[in-house]
Structure 1
């Protein structure tokens, strides 16, 4: 099977592309050529690479045709961020492929209401990223219902793994938060630290794409969450990280305005975005329809990235 992965050298592609090769797929990766996989093995030697600037080609209206001209059976799109980009690709591929798998985000839900949130919950997205991703999902699923377009959407949570900084217990990406916990120093958290995060290991996201591809008949026209089977509160996450280093978390809780006033501006923005969402999503649908269960718990997924930070000297334990 000829499988094209758009954006295949990032967090998910690092695990997905080798998995597809081992399953016997003839894999092509469409990439800007600006990064290598976070780690690689011999399977990457069997992958064909095609360089493309999606933003520029979307603007010129040529990207969808570029993809279609490669004659794939399956397209896995990991880097689509606007409805117009999704529309161009879908229209170019209509009637020419067996399956399009699109990478969405749990941000399509907006703030959690009833938890665990299921895929059919009403959408209340906010922020440009969540709003655009929800619009993409709406367009693709309408096209599936109306035209029989063969699409499946996978919505990852906070993707973790070795090679990058995972979202931390304060809801941002400052590695100093991990250092404080590893060294037994005091860490300030907003409110009472009871907002939630929904980490997932990148390998588990990759496996869900494979499960949807393998169970094509039941996956078509559907969207699936890709998160760990559990969510973490900020304080629970902090305590789990501290325990990893043999420490007890020294936590201080501050009112939001007080906490935001003493933190770097970019950390405040990231934390605000995460805690306003406070995701806690269900994996029941993926298990029921695809027979899929994530391998890593939320804390295990996060710790995989944190251990990498320690091993590479990016934080001092």
Structure 2
């Protein structure tokens, strides 16, 4: 197959790029080239801003693709642009949506592709829903051959997945663990979550490319492993050879007291605070043999080892660190005051 990926070097897509490059498929990447040195040599790269439609069409020329995969489309206007660019040029358009688009608060903790899409907490998710609706309309009315993919929390070796962190990522949480400081965990840490290693995700995704059962359909791709957030943080601590001190704070309190740009209202109340269990039986029917095989405790060991070996990924976040101390002090003061009234 001849496959074009818009993006191709991010957390999710980099694993797909590696696996497709090692296959008999012809892979093209369209992006701005910020990580072009990480791309396998047999991949054709189109270095361009996709919003420059004339330049994209100039470089693509009259090329026909078996699949075009959109990894960096977040707004309906971007999907409309893709329809203009690739209608009549591809046999399949694969749009990466998000499992955060599912109904919040969850009416049922078991999530299938038929679960209602609605998220009043997170604009990011509402935009993904709007993109899906636009594509489904284009498929129904004009036959545009779409496939919608909904990942949940997919991770790679470059960042440890935690729920409460600042804009600079997870390193400060790891640093607090190593220094013996408490780390914030939303709620009581007992809600269930699913984490998927990107190489596992890639296997399911590639199985949908050129697959006639995928046209016009949504699919969620993730691991069958569910862990509580307490277990997730404990796995991170074990990978660091420390016993983490978990400090639990209500999700709505974290959302109300954090800087707006961290968007804990969306990230927590609209996503990670809800217990979800994903049913991937639809994917397994379409891609027989798919199975995520990387347990989180194994994947996070790889993450920690990689980050410790790459100082450029150890970006400190003093603003987040100071905020954690303020939140802990505030809760401790409130508890002391409540106890004094007994």
Scaled by the length of structure 2, the TM-score of the pair is 0.77
Residue 48, structure 1, aligned to residue 37, structure 2: no
Q: CA deviation at 1:105?
A: 1.2
Unaligned regions of 5+ residues in structure 1, if any? none
Give the superposed CA RMSD.
3.0
Distance 2:20 2:254 in 1: 45
Structure 2, unaligned runs of 5 or more: 316-342
Distance 1:230 1:67, change over 3 A: farther
Q: Distance in 1 between matches of 2:300 and 2:139?
A: 35
| Change in CA separation of 1:259 and 1:77 when aligned onto 2, cut-off 3 Å | closer
The reply on whether 1:151 has 2:149 as its aligned counterpart is: no
Which has the greater radius of gyration? 2
Shift of 1:211: 0.8
Once the 2 structures are TM-superposed, how far is the Cα of residue 110 of structure 1 from its aligned partner? 4.4
TM-score (norm 1): 0.83
- Residues 16-165 of structure 1 aligned to structure 2 (within 5 Å): 16-36=16-36, 44-55=40-51, 57=52, 69-111=62-104, 112-126=106-120, 127-163=122-158, 165=159
Per-residue deviation, residues 235-294 of structure 1 (Å, max 9, x unmatched): 121122222334333222234576568x86368534762343235233222112222222
**Counterpart residue number, 1:13:** 13
Distance 1:23 1:149, change over 3 A: same
Q: Secondary structure at the match of 1:85?
A: helix
User: Which 10-residue stretch deviates more, 200-209 or 180-189?
Assistant: 180-189
Other structure's SS at 1:101 match = strand
What is the distance in 2 between the residues matched to 1:276 and 1:89?
A: 28
Work out which of the residue numbers 183, 186, 192 in structure 2 matches 1:187: 183
Q: Please give the residue correspondences for 1:297-308 in structure 2 after superposition, counting only pairs within 5 Å.
A: 297-308=295-306
> Residue 45 of structure 1 aligns to a residue in which SS?
coil
Partner of 1:249: 244
Which of 157, 174, 179 does residue 178 from structure 1 map onto?
A: 174
Task: Indicate conservation of the 8 Å contact 2:154/2:195, yes or no.
Answer: yes
Is contact 1:170-1:234 (8 Å) kept? no
Could you tell which deviates more after superposition, 83-92 or 219-228? 83-92
